[in-house]
């Protein structure tokens, strides 16, 4: 466990530029993109003319254990779904129900 802590950044970057300058956050970003490829949920395509592309944003968080020690750098690439237009980008909405 102690050896793993040597490969973790304790500072959460506030911008993508600052994350790209830190090898540990860069590795976390690459791992997130590899997850998309492994799960077969992402394909790089050319942008069609006149199409509104939904933007993305990187979220950076440190995962901690029960004592508050940082155990993992977590990078998530999320879609900015609030830019979608009903009837154009989607037809139905669903709410999670327990």
pLDDT in tens, 39-95: 998 888 898 898 878 889 999 999 988 988 888 999 999 988 777 777 766 776 666
Q: How far apart are CA 98 and CA 87, in angstroms?
A: 27
Q: How far apart are CA 11 and CA 13, in angstroms?
A: 6
Among 7, 20, 37, CA closest to 75: 20
Greatest Cα pair distance in the chain: 52
């Amino acid at each position: 466990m102690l050896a793993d802590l040597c490969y973790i950044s304790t500072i959460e970057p506030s911008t993508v530029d600052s994350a790209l300058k830190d090898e540990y956050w860069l590795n976390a970003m690459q791992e997130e993109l590899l997850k998309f490829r492994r799960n077969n949920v992402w394909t790089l395509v050319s942008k069609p003319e006149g199409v509104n592309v939904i933007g993305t944003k990187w979220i950076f968080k440190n995962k901690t254990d029960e004592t508050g020690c940082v155990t993992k750098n977590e990078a998530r690439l999320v879609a900015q779904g609030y830019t979608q237009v009903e009837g154009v980008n989607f037809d139905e909405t669903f709410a999670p129900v327990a």
